[in-house]
Copies of this chain bind each other. A is one copy, B any other.
């Protein structure tokens, strides 16, 4: 028996205990976008440090101006100059839970349920994103240590608490701790498999930038009878602006928006076509039938290789029960732009702001209150030893070669690792498209968790060879 098979066996035997620990972490409501949960975020960070210290890591909670970071190091006693040193990244913060009334069980009281389809699932906020995922490499480390007395590699764990709120503290933290955090590569566990039977390594990520706008018409709320017709309604103005964002072909109309966007290379187009991805099922699963993106592009291209302008929230006027004949003073919207290729976040924001101002009637005002920042897209070279070794390990676990895929989501850390620490990233995760991350009833399949732990056991073993 090799060390890897011993560790795999320990992972299997320890599965129930692993799940108990995951549930402890899921019970902590560590929502980072809302200051009301600051204490919970700190509690989650401390919980991780206590666990990692018990495993033999040198682990610390590190203060930031926002939510704390968890940094933990492990050096095997038998380590030599040749022992590879890699970083594992995850995040302990989670999304808000609203609309909470749509959850079948309370979001912070995780449950394990077997569906009518016989599939066992873990329900709770963070079940996948990213507590379930980060616990796969934590528990893989535990399996190695309990089976063999040590990890087979030098490892640094970096677990942040602001991923869901734009990671404001991350870049300064990486800069201040550059020497401590620079490794041969980073493994980022925050992405999906191709499907439940097929693993994936994500090599292409969209960037993102946020914006929030407030349009003011009259300086106070007005009576829609007394003023209606003569006074400009800011909801009318906001609707005009948002409606103008896309043309009839689904293209974003902001001048200059597509600067830096290149057509998809023929090789990638061919590989993606070979995936036999069902657009009908992908959209049908969420109740839709017609791709909403640019006409003539496949759905995979729309979500992996094309930028978006998306409204995440809109509000203004009277929104409670019943009616109110108000002509409101203000109308609000939150937007995100997903970026690809060489699109620059700041340039996109400026182009959007000009676009809004150009559509504004003379006597209306607009304020922009986005947090700025944002991150450009990342494309990772598939030609490196860490990706090759990981691919082989995943193939051994799943009996299928992993798909080298894109992701519509944004993991700005990948860009920061490259720019600040000079590391490439290997994105391996075990989520599925139907996990409902960011939505009510978020879940992680038990098999995702179990195979996730086993996959990391194999990858750690493969790296040491």
Does A165 belong to the interface (CB within 8 Å)? yes
Across the interface, A323 reaches (CB within 8 A) one of B33, B221, B287, B409, namely: B33
Complex Cα gap A292–B224 (Å): 13
The answer to whether A313 and B319 touch across the interface, beta carbons within 8 angstroms, is: yes
Does A55 belong to the interface (CB within 8 Å)? no
Does A447 belong to the interface (CB within 8 Å)? no
Across the interface, A408 reaches (CB within 8 A) one of B229, B322, B323, B439, namely: B229
Residues on B with C-beta less than 8 A from A276 are: none
Does A56 belong to the interface (CB within 8 Å)? no
A225 touching B206 in the complex, CB below 8 Å, given contacts A230-B283, A323-B166, A439-B220? yes
> A15 to nearest B CB, angstroms?
28
The answer to whether B311 and A371 touch across the interface, beta carbons within 8 angstroms, is: no
Residues on B with C-beta less than 8 A from A286 are: 218-220, 222, 227, 231
A230 touching B282 in the complex, CB below 8 Å, given contacts A220-B440, A325-B336? yes
> A291 to nearest B CB, angstroms?
5
Residues on B with C-beta less than 8 A from A312 are: 224, 317-318, 323-328
The answer to whether B33 and A98 touch across the interface, beta carbons within 8 angstroms, is: no
Does A119 belong to the interface (CB within 8 Å)? no
The answer to whether B440 and A361 touch across the interface, beta carbons within 8 angstroms, is: no
Does A179 belong to the interface (CB within 8 Å)? no
Residues on B with C-beta less than 8 A from A334 are: 317-319, 323-324
The answer to whether A233 and B310 touch across the interface, beta carbons within 8 angstroms, is: yes
Does A429 belong to the interface (CB within 8 Å)? no
The answer to whether A325 and B290 touch across the interface, beta carbons within 8 angstroms, is: no
Complex Cα gap A451–B308 (Å): 60
Does A401 belong to the interface (CB within 8 Å)? no
Across the interface, A229 reaches (CB within 8 A) one of B192, B231, B279, B308, namely: B308
Does A60 belong to the interface (CB within 8 Å)? no
Complex Cα gap A195–B235 (Å): 30
Does A169 belong to the interface (CB within 8 Å)? no
The answer to whether B314 and A319 touch across the interface, beta carbons within 8 angstroms, is: yes
Most buried by B among A216, A282, A294, A303: A303
> A304 to nearest B CB, angstroms?
9
> A353 to nearest B CB, angstroms?
17
Complex Cα gap A290–B362 (Å): 7
Does A402 belong to the interface (CB within 8 Å)? no
The answer to whether B165 and A323 touch across the interface, beta carbons within 8 angstroms, is: yes
The answer to whether A236 and B245 touch across the interface, beta carbons within 8 angstroms, is: yes
Residues on B with C-beta less than 8 A from A138 are: none
Across the interface, A289 reaches (CB within 8 A) one of B34, B303, B362, namely: B362
The answer to whether A313 and B325 touch across the interface, beta carbons within 8 angstroms, is: no
Complex Cα gap A388–B315 (Å): 48
Most buried by B among A99, A279, A363: A363
Residues on B with C-beta less than 8 A from A282 are: 230
The answer to whether B245 and A243 touch across the interface, beta carbons within 8 angstroms, is: no
Residues on B with C-beta less than 8 A from A331 are: 314
Please give 20 more A-B residue pairs, beta carbons under 8 A apart, in addition to A225-B338, A226-B407: A34-B322, A206-B225, A208-B325, A212-B323, A219-B286, A223-B439, A228-B303, A228-B408, A229-B306, A232-B288, A233-B292, A235-B314, A290-B363, A312-B323, A312-B327, A313-B317, A314-B314, A314-B319, A315-B319, A319-B334
Question: Interface residues, chain A, CB within 8 Å of chain B?
Answer: 33-35, 95-96, 98-99, 164-166, 192, 206, 208, 210, 212, 216-233, 235-236, 238-246, 279, 282-283, 286-294, 299, 302-303, 306-308, 310-328, 331-334, 336, 338, 361-363, 371, 407-410, 433, 436-440
17 of the cross-chain contacts (CB-CB < 8 Å) are A217-B287, A218-B288, A220-B287, A223-B439, A226-B433, A229-B292, A229-B294, A230-B291, A230-B299, A230-B302, A231-B292, A235-B242, A239-B240, A239-B243, A312-B327, A323-B371, A325-B409
